[in-house]
Amino acid sequence: MGGGSARSALTLASRTLRTRCVTYLPATSASLQLLEAKSLTGRPENGSSSGGDQHIFSKDSWQTLLTFAAAGLMAFTGSSFSVAAGAPVLTEDETAENAGRASFKSTNPRVIFVLGGPGSGKGTQCAKIVDSYGFVHLSAGDLLRAEINSGSENGTMIQNTIKEGKIVPSEVTVRLLQKAMEECNSNNFLIDGFPRNEENRAVFEHVTGIEPEFILFFDCPEEEMEKRILSRNQGREDDNLETIRKRFKVFLDSTVPVVNHYETTGKVRKINATRSVDDVFDMVQPLFKHFVQDDLLWATEELLRGIDTGDYSTYQRLCHPKLTAFEPEAQGQLVEGLDFHKFYFDLGKALKSSSGTHGPAVQSTIVAPKVVLLGTNAGVVTYTRLQQIPSSPKAGHTSAHNETRVWERQKNDAGEWEWKHIHFHRSAAPTT
Ligand X SMILES: Nc1ncnc2c1ncn2[C@@H]1O[C@H](COP(=O)(O)OP(=O)(O)OP(=O)(O)O)[C@@H](O)[C@H]1O
* Binding residue for ligand L45E5XJ5, selected from 4, 117, 193, 348, defined by CB under 6 A: 193
Return the residue of 277, 283, 351, 400 that touches ligand X, per CB under 6 A. 277
Stretch that binds ligand X, among 194-202, 275-283, 334-342, 347-355 (CB under 6 A): 275-283
d(CA 139, CA 141): 5
Residue 117 among known ligand-binding residues: no
Touching ligand X, residues 29-88 (CB under 6 A): 45
Query: Cβ of residue 23: shortest distance to ligand X, in angstroms?
Result: 27
Q: Tell me: does residue 421 bind ligand L45E5XJ5 (CB under 6 A).
A: no
Number of helices (H), then strands (E), in the chain: 15, 14
- For residue 195, whether the previous peptide bond is cis, meaning omega lies within 30 degrees of 0, is yes
Q: Is 168 in the site for ligand L45E5XJ5 (CB under 6 A)?
A: yes
By beta-carbon proximity to ligand L45E5XJ5, the closer residue of 161 and 402 is: 161
Residue 240 or 398 having the CB closest to ligand L45E5XJ5: 240
- Scanning 50-58, 129-137, 157-165, 304-312 for contacts with ligand L45E5XJ5 by CB under 6 A, the matching segment is 157-165
Find the helix packing angle between 170-183 and 140-149, rounded to 10°.
100
Closest CB to ligand L45E5XJ5 among 4 and 116? 116
| Contacting residue, 118, 134, 369, 375, with ligand L45E5XJ5 by CB under 6 A | 118
Beta partners for residue 398, in sequence order: 388
- Considering only 4, 141, 306, 310, the residue that binds ligand L45E5XJ5 (CB under 6 A) is 141
Residue 173 as a binder of ligand L45E5XJ5 (CB under 6 A): the answer is yes
Binders of ligand L45E5XJ5 among residues 58 to 97 (CB under 6 A) are none
Per CB under 6 A, which of residues 194..233 are in contact with ligand X? Answer: 228-229, 232
Could you tell me the CA-to-CA distances from 276 to 132, 228, 283 in Å, in that order? Answer: 18, 12, 11
- Check residue 246 for interaction with ligand X (CB under 6 A): no
140 sits near ligand L45E5XJ5 (criterion: CB under 6 A) = yes
First to last CA, the chain: 25
Give the one residue of 3, 4, 109, 118 binding ligand X; rule: CB under 6 A: 118
Q: Per CB under 6 A, does 39 bind ligand L45E5XJ5?
A: no
Q: Is the backbone peptide bond immediately before 360 cis, with ω within 30 degrees of 0?
A: no
Looking at 126-134, 163-171, 205-213, 299-307, which segment touches ligand L45E5XJ5 (CB under 6 A)?
163-171
Is 145 marked as binding a ligand?
yes
Give the interface segment with ligand X, choosing from 181-189, 273-281, 283-291, 322-330 (CB under 6 A).
Answer: 273-281
Please state the separation of Cα 230 from the chain's center in Å. Answer: 34
Each residue 229-248 as x (binds ligand L45E5XJ5 by CB under 6 A) or -, in order, gives ---------x--------x-
d(CA 8, CA 3): 12
For ligand X, the binding residues (CB under 6 A) are 45, 116, 118-124, 141, 193, 228-229, 232, 276-277, 280
Residue numbers belonging to the annotated binding site: 119-124, 145, 166-168, 193-196, 200, 232, 236, 247, 275
Residue numbers belonging to the annotated binding site for a ribonucleoside 5'-phosphate: 145, 166-168, 193-196, 236, 247
For ligand L45E5XJ5, the binding residues (CB under 6 A) are 118, 139-141, 144, 161-162, 165-168, 173, 193-194, 196, 200, 238, 247
